[in-house]
Amino acid sequence: MLGIKEENISIHKIYELLYEAYGPQNWWPADSVEEMMVGAVLVQNTAWTNVEKSLEALESFSPSYIRNVEHEELIRCIRTSGFYMQKARTLKNLMSWFQKYNDDILIARTKDERIIRSELLELKGIGYETADCMMVYALEKPYFIIDAYTRRIFERLNIPLHYNYLKAQAYIQDNLEVDVQIFNEFHALLVKHGKKHCMKKPRCISCPLGKYCYYYQSQEESIAFI
DNA sequence: CGCCAGGGCCATA
DNA sequence: TATGGCCATGGC
């Protein structure tokens, strides 16, 4: 790998360029908050195409259904998403927690978001990233989501994020306006961009961040990747 | 066939 | 605090 980028870029500028390139993403890709929360668990370290199969197999996303369905049946439905033993248990944990708010996201949104977040983090199977996805896309509270794509993209823009999740998140939130709509769109754009241009194996086709990015040099030609 | 995907938990030092 | 092993399927 060879660092040959032309100039530095602000975090807000990254957002602007991605938005310009890809437009609004209208995340989370789900028809209900319940489906969003289920999807957030199932997508942990898993390709979304696998999650889609699971979402289709599930009879319902309603909290009561998830709570009451037989464990074996739940596992059968979500099998294609991998890690199904852990994820089945996590979904049960999550929906049991949701009952505390009468299975009503509108009620949960009126509560102190710091308490909601710490409650989510107490659930086995839900870590910082999954919790913050729910904070943004279900609770509509501004927590910048740090995922593998974010780290990879920022690193290739010469903005390496601290390996510690909370420190990485604090860095972003100190250098970008704290706004749930922006965090919502930004994360979706980073995933969109990451899948297209910033896989582990470099791809490089008309990258909208090209001139701010490191360049990858193969044997003959040097190729912009990100 | 091996690598990877929109992580998280747990044991270990 | 911070690594490493493990969980598991499907696409390429």
How far: A125 CA to C1 C1' (Å)? 21
Note the pTM of the prediction, 2 decimals: 0.93
Average pLDDT score over chain A: 91
How far: A134 CA to B8 C1' (Å)? 16
| CA distances in angstroms from A90 to A66, A86, A93, A208, listed in the order given | 11, 6, 5, 38
**Does the CB of A217 sit below 7 A from strand B?**
no
**Does the CB of A149 sit below 7 A from strand B?**
yes
Contacting residues for A177 by C-beta, under 8 A, at least 6 apart: A12
Q: What is the pLDDT of residues A109-136, one digit of tens each?
A: 999 999 999 999 999 999 999 999 999 9
Name the protein residue, with chain letter, whose CA is nearest the C1' of C6: A83
Domains in chain A, CATH or no CATH each: 11-26+145-224 (1.10.1670.10), 33-137 (1.10.340.30)
Average pLDDT score over residue span A31-55:
98
For strand B, which residues in window 75-104 of chain A come within 7 Å by CB?
Answer: 82-83, 86
| Residue A167, CB-side half-sphere exposure with 13 Å CA sphere | 5
Query: Which of A14, A3, A58, A7 shows the shortest CA–CA distance to A150?
Result: A14
d(CA A36, CA A41) in angstroms, rounded, equals 9
Strands A215-217 and A222-224: antiparallel
Tokens coding A21: 């390139």
| Residue A75, CB-side half-sphere exposure with 13 Å CA sphere | 8
Average pLDDT score over residue span A154-182:
96
The set of strand C positions with any atom below 7 Å of a protein CB reads: 2-3, 7-11
Query: Which of A49, A16, A58, A38 shows the shortest CA–CA distance to A176?
Result: A16
